[in-house]
Amino acid sequence: MKILILSHRVPFPQNGGYAIVVANTIKGLVNTGHDVSLVALNAKRNNHESQLPDEDLMGKIHYRAYDIDTTITMLGVAANLFRKTSFNVDRYYDPEFETLLVRELRNNDYDIIQFEGLFVSLYLPAVRKHSKAKLIYRAHNIENQIWWRLSQQKIDPFKKSYLRMHARRIKSYEQQKLNKFDAIAVFTGQDKSTLQEYGINVPIEIFPVGLRLEKYVVDIRKTEFPSLFFLGSLDWLPNREGVEWFLDNFIKDITEGDLPVKLYIAGNDIPERFDDYEALGKIFIQGEVDNALEFVNSKSIMIVPLLSGGGMRVKIVEGMAMQKCIISTSLGAEGINFKNGHDIMIANNRNEFFDAIHRCITDEELCIQLGKNARLLAEKEHDINVVTKNLVKFYKTCCKG
């Protein structure tokens, strides 16, 4: 099949959940013999060069990237107050990119065009007009839920009202846009149910996050026990909010000895104010690490204190593949077929997190067994080869329709 992937960011390097999912999808499709093209927006804040660092993909896909400035300005936010759409979506529209995309469609006859998330759905009318391909939407999140759940965490009435306004606008946009696709791929059963409740009546199928599991090599000799860690991009608001909540609630326990364990925070786009949380020999704000898997291997207990957001958390699936003991909120582990206390430990408030951490840092055998169980679950349900095979079946079904 001839397949075009449309992405709102360049998925190289794979330094975040979105990039990992998009890149692994491309690799899975290429490895199964399909002709794959990638057209990506390259947001100014990401600033990645238009090249593929993955040598195994060089020469195997057709690739174009287009630079776009998605910077949010106070003037832009203020102006958006008087519109019916959300600035968070609108900032990804660029007429010159649309022209480039139309040229791509005129020069190629695609069987499938997959839109990776809501931000590239802005180009759906142009794509529909200039291509006979079946158009697939992949919902990385139910975008309005992120804003709504963020609003629930706010005390300030203006911030709460502002976030709810954007949630309503994005929900309205999702409801009127998604039925115009030929089919939708989601990561979780919860997301499928939500879209159906919204009145989305095109075919919707569930495909979990897929990983190339051979990349995830564990060397327990290099693992510090006990140690807590968080790894994720803090330019994504739910991650930032969750980490702040965790630090505010546990900084004294970690620094004053009730929880005798070191905490490492790593990821890209960590705000400078997080440096204030550092505590000598106890809490380490490391920023972006050179090798994410080496970092994960070197620590023993992954924390995922997610209070808002949606979809399936790629970093949890990666943690499972690396045999990590994982403590997550129910929301953070949403969509993963876990058994609480067997593959993942669930904690939804401060007391539950405290008890789970205390139990894990005092019982290394428990941590090791949880990690082994998590790896088995990853092998059973998150192998990219199996996920890709099912995705291609879905494509073929859509093409028959």
Domain boundaries, the chain: 2-210+383-400, 213-381
Beta strands in 232-323 (DSSP E): 262-266, 283-287, 299-304
Q: Which helix (H) or strand (E) holds 327?
A: strand 325-328
Work out the angle at residue 298's Cα, subtended by the Cα atoms of residues 295 and 301, and round it to the nearest 5 degrees.
Answer: 100
CA dist., res. 218 & res. 388, Å (int): 24
Phi-psi region for residue 341, left (φ > 0), alpha (ψ -120 to 50) or beta? left
For residue range 163-199, what is the model confidence (pLDDT) as tens digits? 898 899 999 999 999 999 999 999 999 999 999 999 9
The domain 213-381 belongs to what CATH superfamily? Glycogen Phosphorylase B; (3.40.50.2000)
Average per-residue pLDDT for the chain: 91
Q: What is the CA radius of gyration of the chain?
A: 21
2-210+383-400 against 213-381: fold identical: yes
For residue range 257-306, what is the model confidence (pLDDT) as tens digits? 899 999 999 998 899 999 999 999 999 999 889 999 999 999 999 999 99
Which whole number is the average pLDDT over 16-30? 92
How is domain 2-210+383-400 classified at the CATH fold level? Rossmann fold (3.40.50)
Return the structure tokens found at 254.
């970690």
Is residue 345's pLDDT more than 60?
yes
Is residue 48's pLDDT more than 70?
no
| Residue 230 DSSP SS3 | strand
Report the amino acid identity of residue 133: A
pTM, rounded to two decimals:
0.90
Q: Cβ neighbours of residue 369 under 8 Å, at least 6 residues apart?
A: none
Q: Which of 86-95, 147-156, 307-316, 380-389 has the highest mean pLDDT?
A: 380-389
Is residue 67's pLDDT more than 60?
yes
CA dist., res. 149 & res. 329, Å (int): 14
Q: Number of C-alpha atoms within 13 angstroms, CB side, residue 116?
A: 23
Share of the chain above pLDDT 90, in %: 75
Which whole number is the average pLDDT over 311-317? 89
Q: Number of C-alpha atoms within 13 angstroms, CB side, residue 151?
A: 17
pLDDT greater at residue 88 or residue 102: 102
Any idea which of 45-54, 98-107, 255-264, 282-291 has the lowest mean pLDDT?
A: 45-54
pLDDT greater at residue 122 or residue 158: 122
Q: What is the pLDDT of residue 31?
A: 92
Give the DSSP letter of residue 342: T
